[in-house]
Chain A
Amino acid sequence: GAGVSQSPSNKVTEKGKDVELRCDPISGHTALYWYRQSLGQGLEFLIYFQGNSAPDKSGLPSDRFSAERTGGSVSTLTIQRTQQEDSAVYLCASSLEGGKETQYFGPGTRLLVL
């Protein structure tokens, strides 16, 4: 079946603007994760959804970052008043409940804040 999809694949924005990043998980996957990967760095956990609720928001770097998930499927990560340090690749992953819960990653959104 289809994998995790993310849009847009690339986004260039000006400092101070708001951006929305979208993630469409694998159908039937109840868990959804957002990560950030800065150039040459590992993955930084941002937020985790189980269904539509987010039991763990501890990774959001500031109150400019928010995320929601509707219908237990699509998720949107919103960054308000973007800053240059927000430039990174934003990766989304989804997994099934139970079992090995392997996370399957989307291709990412490359965000550049000028």
Chain B
Amino acid sequence: AQKITQTQPGMFVQEKEAVTLDCTYDTSDQSYGLFWYKQPSSGEMIFLIYQGSYDEQNATEGRYSLNFQKARKSANLVISASQLGDSAMYFCAMRRGYQKVAFGTGTKLQVIP
């Protein structure tokens, strides 16, 4: 079984500061993919960033970067220079092969002006 854990139900960050959202996972597989999604209050799920288990470099997409520590089974999302529009729920997810994707319970991020 695969399991995703997000231990921070809620986070606050000052505008323009960086913030790290934690995610740990549990799997015995060697090949898997890790994703982060953003869900604003509108409800849509927005893909942010992807990390493959065999990728040697940490993934980056604009202000988003994924701090991938394979031995520790962690895949933390780092958002640099936070903006008010970053306030949302953030979900970490893991996919094994073509099978179902397991999601964490999410972290609610609030950016303070």
Contacts and interface: CB of A to CB of B under 8 A. Distances in A.
B43 A41 contact: no
Interface residues of B, number: 22
Q: Is chain B's interface secondary structure helix, strand, loop, or mixed overall?
A: strand
A57 B48 CA distance: 27
Contacts of B106: 42
Interface string A86-104: 0001010100010011111
B99 A48 contact: yes
A101 B95 contact: yes
Interface residues of A, number: 26
A31 B33 CA distance: 16
B98 interface: yes
B101 interface: yes
B12 interface: no
B100 A45 contact: yes
Interface of B: 33, 35, 37, 43-47, 50, 52, 91, 93, 95, 98-106
